[in-house]
């Protein structure tokens, strides 16, 4: 009974997570996978491609190097993260947890930055986990930090269901793979260490009835290479103002926070990126072959060496001939068109969610409507990530003796950057001057909503009133024709119409 056993759903989802990880990390990772994503041609296989330095191996290496892998997955993730976080989330904490706001992880990340990284993993692979961990020598005022685990590292779990697909709200067991490189003590060498962390609620063999009756406490143990057999006596029960009655670990998928994995949101885009990669390899191989014609000499001497080029001379015998033969290029246009179509499909899948540069005059309302239908996935991702972070922080509050209800994480769900343009404001003011039933206060509220100003109506009036005390050179420009006769009049002699009107202070 080894702790390195994996959940059946983990085995099923692992190939997708590995592919998404590779396509997200880019060309070097994908090309380094070799035959996995770019199979060799039949000619390369015939030339013993699997043997290093063989003719087939060199041909495949050149074939792979010429290929282009498009960074579609990474580009899509970065674009979506920019959309999701162009406004910050709102995170409310009790005073006891304020230390986590700017120092939430081992990397000294803030909670806002941690939430951004959570959303990035949700988009890139559709799966991650959060663990509330306690410092080795906990300070009673700042005892906790949060650890993230990628999809591949959450290898086994039991959420109390009767079958592997059942979802329950009682998490009984989680196994985390913490293997990786570690530097040897007093040395410069790094070695790969195998290590698994087991999180348990009660004992491993406890039944649902026993768990419900006994109210067991949270415990954990770390098992390293050479001792991967589970040992219940190795379980430690961390204590701080008492023990915890649940495992402080949260699964995060693209759509929910259940233990069962979801389909990754960008798997289709990843598949298409690899399709383009293989198409690019064939297309550029064909282009290469197109430029590598073969010289054929008819009637030449069998043992004679012939040269081709600007400084070479060919003297075929009487009745002989010399010509170049090469690959037929008739299929190149079709290959090029197929690649263009695949790139267009990829752009559609990546969904340039907000591409304002191609819609220069699109109004804020039109932009909102256009984006609304395409941001349902981002809404679910944002809500799932924020909820999981909120639950982990509430576990910390409960364990530290604070009020868990004071922890509230509200993600940004306004994915449209519809800041008001100057022309829109001019249009509003023009409509008001032409008799539209629109107050200046209403126009100001619209300006607030659209990001032009952060000041309240009263603050704006106060600031406008202060402008009358500014020197003449800093006064607002006149609203009349700057080339009219009143333009040359001294500031104190200008007609009333020449001075920009300000709303009068409201009597209080």
Work out whether strand 144-150 and strand 127-134 pair parallel, antiparallel, or are unpaired.
antiparallel
pLDDT in tens, 94-108: 999 999 999 999 999
CA atoms within 13 A on the CB side of 502: 17
pTM: 0.74
Given a cut of 60, is residue 504 above it in pLDDT? no
Given a cut of 50, is residue 286 above it in pLDDT? yes
pLDDT in tens, 31-71: 999 999 999 999 999 999 999 999 999 999 999 999 999 99
CA atoms within 13 A on the CB side of 469: 5
What's the rounded mean pLDDT across residues 109-114? Answer: 96
**CA–CA separation, 245 vs 257, rounded Å?**
19
Q: How confident is the model at residue 351 (pLDDT cuts 50, 70, 90)?
A: low
What's the rounded mean pLDDT across residues 479-501? Answer: 47
CB burial string 275-287: b at 16+ within 10 A, e below = ebbebbbbbbbbb
Q: Find the angle CA(248)-CA(252)-CA(257) to the nearest 5 degrees.
A: 80
pLDDT in tens, 227-239: 899 999 999 988 8
């Amino acid at each position: 009974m080894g702790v390195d056993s994996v959940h059946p759903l983990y085995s099923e989802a692992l190939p997708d997570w590995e592919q998404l990880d590779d396509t997200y990390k880019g060309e070097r990772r994908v090309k380094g996978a070799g035959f996995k994503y770019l199979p060799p041609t039949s000619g390369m296989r015939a030339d013993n491609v699997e043997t290093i330095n063989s003719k087939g191996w060199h041909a495949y290496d050149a074939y792979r190097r010429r290929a282009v892998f498009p960074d579609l997955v990474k580009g899509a993730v970065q674009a979506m993260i920019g959309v999701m976080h162009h406004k910050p989330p709102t995170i409310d904490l009790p005073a006891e947890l304020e230390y986590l706001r700017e120092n939430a992880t081992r990397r000294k990340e803030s909670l806002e930055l941690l939430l951004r990284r959570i959303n990035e993993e949700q988009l890139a692979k559709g799966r991650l986990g959060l663990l509330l961990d306690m410092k080795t020598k906990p300070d009673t005022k700042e005892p906790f930090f949060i650890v993230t685990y990628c999809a591949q590292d959450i290898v086994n779990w039991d959420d109390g269901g009767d079958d592997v697909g059942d979802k329950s709200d009682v998490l009984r067991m989680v196994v985390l793979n913490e293997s990786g490189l570690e530097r040897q003590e007093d040395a410069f060498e790094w070695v790969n260490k195998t290590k698994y962390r087991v999180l348990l609620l009660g004992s491993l063999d406890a039944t649902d009835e026993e768990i419900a009756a006994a109210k067991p406490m949270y415990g954990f143990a770390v098992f390293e290479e050479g001792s991967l057999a589970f040992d219940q006596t190795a379980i430690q029960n961390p204590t701080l103002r008492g023990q915890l009655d649940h495992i402080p670990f949260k699964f995060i998928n693209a759509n929910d926070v259940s233990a069962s994995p979801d389909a990754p949101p960008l798997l289709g885009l990843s598949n298409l990126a690899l399709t383009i990669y293989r198409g690019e390899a064939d297309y550029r191989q064909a282009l290469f072959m197109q430029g590598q014609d073969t010289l054929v000499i008819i009637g030449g001497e069998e043992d004679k060496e012939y040269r081709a080029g600007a400084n070479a001379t060919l003297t075929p015998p009487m009745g002989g001939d010399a010509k170049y033969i090469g690959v037929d290029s008739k299929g190149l246009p079709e290959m090029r068109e197929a690649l263009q179509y695949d790139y267009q499909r990829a752009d559609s899948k990546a969904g340039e969610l907000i591409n304002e540069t191609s819609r220069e005059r699109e109004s804020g309302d039109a932009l909102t409507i256009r984006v609304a239908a395409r941001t349902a996935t981002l809404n679910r991702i944002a809500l799932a990530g924020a909820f999981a972070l909120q639950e982990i922080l509430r576990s910390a509050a409960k364990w530290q003796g604070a009020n868990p209800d004071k922890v509230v994480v509200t993600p940004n769900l306004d994915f449209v950057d519809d800041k008001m343009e100057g022309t829109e404001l001019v249009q509003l003011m023009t409509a008001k001057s032409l008799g539209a039933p629109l107050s200046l206060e209403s126009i100001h509220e619209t300006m607030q909503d659209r990001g032009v100003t952060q000041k309240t109506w009263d603050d704006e009036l106060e600031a406008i009133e202060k402008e009358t005390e500014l020197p003449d050179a800093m006064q607002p420009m006149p609203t009349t024709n700057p080339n009219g006769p009143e333009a040359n009049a001294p500031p104190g002699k200008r007609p009333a119409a020449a001075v920009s009107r300000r709303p009068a202070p409201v009597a209080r």
